[in-house]
Structure 1
Amino acid sequence: MDPTLIDTFKEVRMRRFTILGLGLALAFAAVLPGEAQNRNLTWTAGQVGGGWYTQAGGFVELIKSKDPSFNIKVVPGAGIQNMTKLQQAETEIAWGLPPFIVAAYQGQDPYKDKHPDMRLVMNGLGFVHSQWAVPADYPYKSIREIFESKKAITIGTTPPGGSDEWVMRKIFDFYKTSYNDVRSRGGKVILVSYTDLANQYRDRNMDIFFSNLAVPGASIQEASLGRKMKILPMDEDLIKYLEGFGLARGVVSKGSYKDVVNNDQDIPTVVMANTIVANAKVPADVVHDFTRALVSNVDAVRKVHPAFKDFDPKDAVRLANVPLHPGAERAYREAGLLK
C-alpha cells in the first residue's frame, strides 16, 4: 500500500480516538452534579493575627478532611465590611456577628442599603468578647475613671470596618467623648492591626488595648507576655447601653489568660456570637455539604478553638430575622435539628 495512504489512515484513526475521548469526557462532566464543579470558595474572616482568621483556617482543614472536593481560601476581613463583601459576591462565605448581620439584611446602621442575599449558615460558634486591657500598674480601676479623669490617654484598636472600632466608638459615645477629645488632651488613638497593637502595647507606645476577640485572644496573649496587664470590667450602665445595639452581657471567664493579673475572677463585659453566613447564590448542595461536615463532627468542631468548646448544634440555627440558606436548612433537617 502507498505509504502516504497508510499515514492518512493513521491520522484519521487518531482523530476519531481524540473526538471519542473528548465526547466521553464531556458526557461524564454532564452527569456530575453541578455543585461538584463549584467547590472553590472564598471565606472572608478577620484580620491576620485575630481569632476569626485562625478559626476559619481550622474549619477549612476539618471540612477538607471530611470532603476533599472543597478548596476553601481564607482571606482577611472585618466584622462590618464582611457583610457588604458577601452581598457584592466578593466572597461566598464570611464570618459575621448577629448585630451586623441583621443590620445588613435590613439596611440599618452602619449599612446604607439592604443586603438581601445574606443567608445564615451556622450560629452559636462561641463568642467574641469586648476586652479593655491596660497595664497591670495602670492607675485607673474602671473605664469610667479613665474618661472622667480627662487626662491624656493612648488607646488603640483595629481600623474602622471591624467590630472592634465600632464597639469602641459606642463606648466613647456613652462617656460623651470622642477621638478628637483624646487627641486635644495630648493623647493618641491608634488604629492598626492586631499584630501592630500587640507590639505598640509591649513597646509602651500604647496603654489601652481594646479588642473584640474570642477568648483567649491571641494578640492579647502576645501583648501580655511582654508587659503584664489587667482587663477592666464594664460597669452595669455601660453594659445596658451596649445591649441596646444588639450586644449581650457576658464575662471574660477566670483562668482565660495566664499573664493577666486579674485572671482569678470573671470580668463583666459584652459579647457577640460568632456566626457563619453565605451568599444566597452559593449552590445549595455546596452549603449543605459544608454544613454537614461541621454538624456531623461536633467533637472536632469543639477542638478547633477554645471558644468553641461548648458548641451545641441546637444553637446553630438560631438567628432572628435572617433566613437560613436552603443548603444549611437541609443539613439541619437531616441531623434532626429542624422539623
Structure 2
Amino acid sequence: MKKKTLLSVAMLLVLALFLAACGGGSNDSASTTDAGSDSGNDEAAEKPKFLSMLTGGTSGTYYPLGGEMAKIITDETGIQTDAVSSNASADNVISLQEGEAELAFVQTDVIANAVEGINAFDGKPVDNVLALGSLYPETIQIVTNANSGIESVEDLKGKTVSVGAPGSGTYINAEQILEIHGLTMDDIKAQNLDFGESTGGIQDGNIDAAFITAGTPTGAVEGLGATTDVSIVPIAQEKIDELVEKYPYYAADTITEGTYGLEEDVNTVAVLAMLAVTDSLSEDVVYDITKALYENVDQISHAKGEFIKKESALDGIDVDLHPGAEKYFKEAGLLE
C-alpha cells in the first residue's frame, strides 16, 4: 500500500508540474499576443478612423469649401473626415481646445487672439491648438441695400447692423473697424445674426447693414443680389492704414467691379482664413493631411480653391505650426 501511495503521489506531482508548465506557456503566449495587440492599438490610436472639421454657417464660404477639403483628406489619407457646420472662428477654436473636433477653419486674427488670451479669449489663452496652414483672404464686407443711404462706416451710427455671433471672427472685425472710426457696439443696434440671416434681414428691411467676413463672392451676398441692389460700404484709405498699423493681421483688399453687380471697385480690408488643428493628432497624421490638401488643390471646384497654394500657406500665421505641418513645409522648401 505504501508503495502504491508513494507512486500515486509521485504521479500527481509530475502531472501538476506538467500542467503548470502548460499553463505558463499559455500565459506567456497570451502576454505576447497582448503585447502585439497593444502595439497595434498604439498605431491605430495614432491614425484615427474619423476626423471632424469644423467650418462655419451653411450660407458662408467655410462650409462648402470645407466639404470639398474633407473629401480630399478622406480620399488621400483613408481617414473619414466630415465637414461640420458651426459658428465659425472663435467657437471653432474653443471646440478644438475642448477636444470636440480635430480640425477647424479659423481666421488668423482669431487664433492669434486665442493664443495671446485677448479679446474673446481675455484671460483664457489657448495652448493646445496649432496652425496647419493658411488658405485665402477673407474680405470684411459691410453689406447694405443700395438705397439705404449708408455710404461710410460712420453712417452706421444708430443703424441696425448685424455683427455676427459674439466672439466670432466677424464680430471682432466689426468691433475693431468701428473702433478705428470712433464708434463702439453701443453706437449701433447690434444684431447677432449668421450670414444667411443677415442678408435675409437686409432683404426684408429688418436690418440696415451687415458685417460679413468671408471670401468673395460669398453665397449669401450673391443670393441677396438676386433680389436687391447690393452696396458694399467702403473703408477710407487712411482708416485702412490706421487699422493695419494697430492690428497687423489685417491687409488692404478690394472687392472688384462686377462682384454682386457692383459698378466700381470697393476698398476694404481682409484677414486670412486658415486651418487649425489640435495638438492631440500625431505628427504623421497632420503631415499626411497637410500634404493631401496642398498637393491636391486642383480638385477643389470652389472659387476660393485658386487662392489655396502651398507657396502662400504660411502667410498671416503668427502662431506655432503643428510639427506635422512644419515637416511638410520644410520638405517643400518653404521653411528652413
For the superposition of Structure 1 and Structure 2, which TM-score range results when normalised by the shorter chain? 0.7 to 0.9
Q: Is there any run of 5+ residues in structure 1 with no aligned partner, and where?
A: 1-18, 183-187
SS at match of 2:326: helix
Larger Rg computed on CA atoms: 2
Residue of structure 2 equivalent to 1:223: 224
Percent of residue pairs bearing the same amino acid type: 22
Question: What is residue 294 of structure 2 aligned with on the other side?
Answer: 295
For 2:164, give the aligned amino acid: T
| Aligned 8 A contact 1:134 1:207 in 2 | yes
Decide whether the 8 Å contact of 1:78 with 1:161 is kept in 2: no
Amino acid at match of 2:224: A
The farther-off stretch of 50-59 and 303-312 is 303-312
SS of alignment partner, residue 167 of structure 2: coil
Aligned to 1:270: 269
Cα deviation, residue 217, structure 1: 0.7
Q: Name the counterpart of 1:174.
A: 180
Q: Judging changes above 3 Å, is the alpha-carbon distance between structure 1 residues 225 and 34 closer, same or farther for their aligned structure 2 residues? A: same
Q: 1:208 to 1:280 in 2, by over 3 A?
A: same
Deviation at 1:319, TM superposition (A): 4.8
CA contact 2:234–2:268 (8 Å) conserved in 1: yes
Counterpart of 1:7 in structure 2 is: none
- Give unmatched runs, 5+ long, in structure 2: 1-28
2:22 matched residue in structure 1: none
1:63 counterpart = 2:73: yes
- Aligned position for 1:252: 255
Shift of 1:278: 0.8
**Shift in CA distance, 72/29, structure 1 to aligned 2, threshold 3 Å:** farther
Normalised by the length of structure 2, the TM-score is 0.81
Q: Report the secondary structure of 2:89's partner residue.
A: coil
Structure 1 residue 114 and structure 2 residue 111: aligned?
no
- Give the corresponding residue for 1:128: 138
Could you tell me how far apart the structure 2 residues matched to 1:320 and 1:97 are? 10
Alignment partner of 1:161: what SS? coil
Alignment map for 1:6-85 (pairs within 5 Å): 27=37, 30=40, 33-35=43-45, 37-85=47-95
Residue aligning to 1:158: 164
Q: Secondary structure of the equivalent of 2:144?
A: strand
- Residue 185 of structure 1: aligned partner: none
Higher helix share: 2
Where does 1:296-315 land on structure 2 (aligned, <5 Å)? Answer: 296-300=295-299, 303-315=300-312
TM-score by length of 1: 0.80
Residues 97 and 126 in structure 2, CA contact (< 8 A), matched pair in contact too: yes
Structure 1 residue 155, shift from structure 2 partner: 1.8
Count of residue pairs the alignment pairs up? 304
Please report the RMSD computed on the Cα atoms of aligned residues, expressed in angstroms. 2.8
Please say if residues 120 and 277 of structure 1, whose CA atoms lie closer than 8 Å, have aligned partners that are also in contact.
yes
Structure 1 residues 77 and 154 mapped into 2: Cα distance closer, same or farther (>3 Å)? closer
